[in-house]
Amino acid sequence: MIRRLFQLIASLFRLLWRIIDSIRRTAVNVVLLVLLLALLSTILSPGPHIPDGAALIVRPSGTLVEQTSAPSRIAFLTEQERDEETTLHVLLDAIRAASTDPRIALLVIETDDLDSGGLSKLGELRAAIAEFKAAGKPVLARGERYSQSQYYLASIADEVHLAPDGYAVLPGFARYATYFAGALEALGIKIHLFRVGEYKSFAEPFTRTNMSDEDREATTSLLGGLWQHFRADLIAVRKLDPTQFDNYVNHYPDALEAHQGDTAKVAQNGGLIDRFSTRAEWQARIAERLGGTATARHYPKITAKDYFTTIKGERTTAPDHIAVLVAQGTISEGTQPRDAQPRNATGGDSFSRLIREARENKAVKAIVVRIDSPGGSAWASELIRRELELTRSAGKPVIVSMSSVAASGGYWIATAADEIWAEPTTITGSIGVFGLYPEVVEPMKRLGLSVDGVSTGPLASAFDPRLPLSDAARASVQRSVEHTYRNFLNIVAAARKLSVEEVDRIARGRVWTGVEAKETGLVDQLGGLHQAIAAAATRARLTDYTITWPTPSLPLLQQILQELAANARGSAVTNAPAQRLVKRLSAELDALAYWNDRGNLYLHCLCETP
């Protein structure tokens, strides 16, 4: 009986193993098939073609970013792929190249899929479009409903179109934070804050129920400066009377009342719109501007992405390289990316490795560090800064190009550069340090939980959140924060050739626009990525060079498996308010994973870009 039972169990295990083995072989075969199909798709694809007299179609989708995840390896398996991110430099390169390309006759901007981009990124795009216009080529733009960001991009066009039932909303800039102190107090959770810099407001939502006077002062100044730049840009390009523009923004309900709620008429009367057009009329207008035999259904065109790919293949690769390294999102310890999702963090270890590889690559003659980061881990920021210092010591120029935000830890790493370039609307500075420590003694008491034990020293259990934070531990953390702040001041003073006292006066955690940072000496020049790369070439004495974009990546098989999982979750882009709120809350929760500084010291600013 026992023998038969063991035989039955053995048979069941053999059957289970055969099932597992079959699944394993099937999975391997599927992956190999995917790889084979991807390879065949790449080989057999004829690639895009640039027709003569074509319209270059610029239709950014989702968020403008400095660098996206690796290209999808499984796009051919999905019915439709809509990118949630658009790479800024692809659009910039395409538009600038098209301005001198005789095959491109017209630039078409369609803004409906653009979610957000940051004022500085949109400003760089507008500058490239202005160069296209200066070459004598027309620019048309259309949106069915303009958000503020969408309209800022479209406004640079020669003709701005709007759907007959559309609108153009210009509400201005605002920053409202959610303050958790009341909820944390109700739960009995105590947050200990350690900081230097009265303007270092990032941790205030955890310790206050409202905005501090210092944060209100700094935020008012920052948003005011950004709005004045935005306002001046629109008034200049649309040739508006300043009073007319201010009335549109400040008295929009009155204008709606005067036009019986017709938002499109309000936009036209406000001078923001040149023409109304349906989708069919829009296509007919493009064909008309191209002339010749073009019709609304058939006219020569190419997307910016396909155009970029084609001209990249047409260019001769120079032996000398300028490497553009992107530091994007929260600066955290360790290696990033950890998955195949869009990069929202810069790993101290992985980014340092990128810098080393560029330094040791003989073909790379200069490095441009493109920073779009509000900071993060003090430890990781210092790792990156040291690698950049070593690169300069090795004789390779290092230029920093600031994108929408390069503050706190983002500014810390910028100090290692030979030159710092910023856009006028870049948010930078925030030279300050803070530490946060949660204490959950009260919630445990409410649950009837108690903690008891022994330790061999006064600090052995000092940072156990189940126990009250001792005076000795509190003093230790505060001293560490103060030391890191002094170190920050010394680094900035040495890099910017200022005294420590001068740096302290413009530090204290305060954020500045790029224009203000230039005036205070925190940056060298105002300009975008294009100018920063040119500065790197000048320092490296290069006239002919190739621009490369090194990036940390995952093994191909891991990318494919994770992309399959991501596609299963879906990735449709939507501008619905509820969807945006969910995405924002999700992103804030995801960001907690990157708060991993080993000393619990952070160089981070609460400075979302408008």
Give catalytic residue positions.
200, 408
Q: How many Cα atoms are found within 13 Å in the side-chain-facing hemisphere of 547?
A: 15
What stretch of H or E contains 57?
A: strand 54-58
Picking from 498, 106, 304, the residue whose alpha carbon sits closest to that of residue 506 is: 498
Picking from 381, 384, 418, 385, the residue whose alpha carbon sits closest to that of residue 401 is: 418
C-alpha to C-alpha distance for 376 and 374, rounded to whole angstroms = 7
Dihedral of CA 300/301/307/309: which sign?
negative
Long-range Cβ pairs for the range 486-490 (8 Å, 24+) = 488/412, 488/431, 488/432, 488/433, 488/603, 489/431
The string of DSSP codes covering 390-444 is HHHHTT--EEEEEEEEEETHHHHHHTTSSEEEE-TT-EEE---EEEEEEE-HHHH
- Residue 375 bridge partners (DSSP): 604
C-alpha to C-alpha distance for 490 and 484, rounded to whole angstroms = 10
CB 426 within 8 A of CB 120: yes
C-alpha to C-alpha distance for 407 and 431, rounded to whole angstroms = 7
- Residue 302 bridge partners (DSSP): 56
Dihedral of CA 39/40/42/43: which sign?
positive
Picking from 377, 398, 393, 375, the residue whose alpha carbon sits closest to that of residue 536 is: 398
With a CB cutoff of 8 Å and minimum separation 6, the contacts of 210 are 179
Strand order in the sheet with 345-347: 190-196, 433-439, 602-604, 375-377, 330-332, 345-347
With 0-12 / 13-18 / 19 or more C-beta atoms within 10 angstroms meaning exposed / middle / buried, residue 160 is buried
Provide the residue count of the chain: 610
With a CB cutoff of 8 Å and minimum separation 6, the contacts of 89 are 66, 324, 529, 549
- Residue 330 bridge partners (DSSP): 345
Identity of the amino acid at 523 = V
CA distances (Å), origin 541, targets 56, 420, 536, 547: 33, 18, 8, 15
- Residue 548 bridge partners (DSSP): 323
Tell me the backbone φ, ψ of residue 34, rounded to 5 degrees.
-60, -45
C-alpha to C-alpha distance for 414 and 429, rounded to whole angstroms = 10
